[in-house]
Structure 1
């Protein structure tokens, strides 16, 4: 399998972030809708797989659900989609590298947030509620239990959980840029996403599916969702923009142009 070095991955991430933030608005909205729907479908698959398993299986149930959830990000990366949490890393890197303005970043994050929300809620309402895939029996019970777990966290807990989540999610995106073939991308995505789901970290777009699914079942309110959205959004932003984008920019990109110029100058002097 072809493999890019971490420094080259940083460069590819910058190029990707610059492309993402300069997409036409309609393209951005379509791809954002698809990404929100893809992540929701991964969560729906998780619930359908684990909801009716015996409680005696313990944490192995979480592992099975975590094993199938990554299909959502696989679809985003390979089929095409614009996911907020991934853009929190790549678009930030493009800004740090001087390829984009902060205004471009904020515009991208805003429109991708909106379109991801529409895609995730579409799946929650039409597939989860109208079709009834999470509207009754053990599937409803599992959905409500997951939503309650997300809503139970206080602001600081949700914020920190969001950091842990997007540290792993953006590393999955980062690793996918290291691979040139589909098999390599699938392997790169699967392990970090499986890890964040098995641990139980909070993902702002995944929560756009599971909490509204509980709302449609009459179990929570949109105020509850928003109270969760704010700290998880901020935590995801910190996880992707600081713990991946900023740190790898400092390690691999910052000052590289100046260093290259100095090397050329020294060679010229010799």
Structure 2
């Protein structure tokens, strides 16, 4: 039994060494060509390791900034909803606001602030490639989530006050958007968030593939607009929506807020880690043959 275990460990080590060798080879390929699967994977692992190596205070501050910056999407959602309210049906309004939904994501990703859903798959890859531990992954996820949520709560408090003061929207708009986000069953929210996490993981992968800022903006816009149009549950902007509504609407209490938020966080994490990080990594590993 012990011998079989040793042989299995040795085989796994050889496999990992071969995978690392192939990834290193990918890094030396011609930059004039389109990036290969291996090149993208290698860059994602490098980027993920760089985030792991940052100090906790730096990660917390960057993720807090991301939570704040994502609030500009919420500001536009409420403003556009209010502007067209009464002119079109409410169901059409929820589709219309999806066209401004990507703005905060563009600010966050191009500004290189740390957003949990974008970093989920990115941070999972160093663990899959045995360069970082699961415990360090959970720790860094925790820091990023705390920072994102804290930033979102602060910007939510700010916009709930400044929006009506500037005449951009009234509190009933905040309540409607938050109630709409929280109006689904737990299983529905979980699967919806899983799909959103999958899309955000793909966003990170495709941004790594792109070579210029314009293409990055287009990629970010398309993917996040899809999430907005279909109403998929993104935990971080959803935190702003439902927290702000909780301050106003009797329909949402603190328990409902926590239940929806935790479900969305779990779904986003699973979507990014499983459907992007794990599958993309395993697709590369399965193509690596031992000598």
TM-score range, shorter chain: 0.7 to 0.9
Q: 1:166 aligns with which of 189, 197, 205?
A: 197
Which residue of structure 2 lines up, in the alignment, with residue 146 of structure 1? 177
CA distance in 2, matches of 1:170, 1:69: 18
Distance 1:20 1:137, change over 3 A: closer
The answer for unaligned runs of 5 or more in structure 1 is 263-270
Shift of 1:149: 2.0
Distance 1:80 1:133, change over 3 A: farther
The answer for unaligned runs of 5 or more in structure 2 is 1-31
**Which aligned pairs between 1:235-250 and structure 2 lie closer than 5 A?**
235-250=267-282
Which residue of structure 1 lines up, in the alignment, with residue 78 of structure 2? 47
Shift of 1:222: 2.1
Shift of 1:55: 4.8
Q: Is the 8 A contact 1:3 1:179 kept in 2?
A: no
Q: 1:92 aligns with which of 115, 124, 135?
A: 124
Which residue of structure 1 lines up, in the alignment, with residue 238 of structure 2? 207
Q: Is the 8 A contact 1:52 1:139 kept in 2?
A: no
Secondary structure of the equivalent of 1:217?
coil
Q: Is the 8 A contact 2:196 2:232 kept in 1?
A: yes
Which residue of structure 2 lines up, in the alignment, with residue 229 of structure 1? 261
Which residue of structure 2 lines up, in the alignment, with residue 265 of structure 1? none
CA distance in 1, matches of 2:76, 2:33: 31
Q: Is the 8 A contact 1:135 1:217 kept in 2?
A: no
User: Which sits farther off after the overlay, 190-199 or 12-21?
Assistant: 12-21
Q: Is the 8 A contact 2:79 2:169 kept in 1?
A: no
CA distance in 2, matches of 1:183, 1:134: 35
Q: Is the 8 A contact 2:78 2:169 kept in 1?
A: no
Which residue of structure 1 lines up, in the alignment, with residue 206 of structure 2? 175
Q: TM-score, normalised by structure 1?
A: 0.87
**Which aligned pairs between 1:1-270 and structure 2 lie closer than 5 A?**
3-53=34-84, 54-56=86-88, 61-126=93-158, 128-133=159-164, 139-219=170-250, 220-252=252-284, 254=285, 259=289, 262=291
Q: Number of residue pairs matched?
A: 258
* Pair member with larger Rg: 2
Q: TM-score, normalised by structure 2?
A: 0.81
Distance 1:59 1:222, change over 3 A: closer
Distance 1:112 1:198, change over 3 A: same
User: Which sits farther off after the overlay, 187-196 or 136-145?
Assistant: 136-145
